[in-house]
Amino acid sequence: MLYNSSAPRFTTYTSALSASMLLINLYRYTEGAVNTAKVEAYTYADLFMTRTALECAANHVVSATWTDLADEYTKLSTDAKDYFYNHFETDPVIAALIARYRLILDIYGYRNFLSNSAGDLVINEVMFRPNGEAPHYVTFYVLGFYVLAMGIGAIIYLNIREKIEMNR
């Protein structure tokens, strides 16, 4: 890529290189020393997002893909696993992976394998269990909403009934 400093509006060249044509240098900014755990976590995140992209778009994540991703995760260094655990809410790349990961867990009920080096799961709860059964707190919320709706319905019914009887 060349830049003609004497005539910047022209972007193509028909002559050989000259002193007026500056070679553009592209630099990659890094924050001091390279964080190998972060690089390894990002590499896995890229693999995860790439491998699940088409299957998520088709609403059909295959269990073989999930097993392969779990196997690849077990190969990560302990530092990379700890990076996932410590940054899953603050790092946007890891947070994007976690959002898709959680969705796949909720829909398909596959094995929850993201953990730190000590084995503590990154995500401790999922919306649905593998057998399709909702956790107890979801059942209580639904039951509570049902009771509340029935109570409001009963109050409205009694008020309407009372007004009808008063008008007779």
**Pair 56, 100: CB distance under 8 Å:** yes
As a whole number, mean pLDDT of residues 2-13 equals: 55
Write the CA distances from 111 to 77, 102, 133, integer angstroms.
Answer: 20, 11, 15
Tell the residue number behind the tokens 């649905």, with chain if given.
Answer: 128
Q: Tell me the domain boundaries of the chain.
A: 36-108, 134-168
Task: Answer yes or no: is pLDDT of 3 > 80.
Answer: no
Residue 23 belongs to what H/E stretch?
strand 21-23
Cα–Cα dist 151/94, whole Å? 44
Q: Residue 74's pLDDT is what?
A: 93
| Tens-place pLDDT, residues 11-70 | 555 555 555 545 455 555 556 677 889 999 999 999 999 999 888 888 889 999 999 999
| Tens-place pLDDT, residues 87-145 | 888 889 998 999 899 888 888 888 889 988 888 888 876 554 544 555 555 566 677 77
Q: Give the three-state DSSP class for 100.
A: helix
| Tens-place pLDDT, residues 14-27 | 555 555 545 455 55
Q: Residue 1's pLDDT is what?
A: 47
Q: Residue 20's pLDDT is what?
A: 53
Q: Give the three-state DSSP class for 133.
A: coil
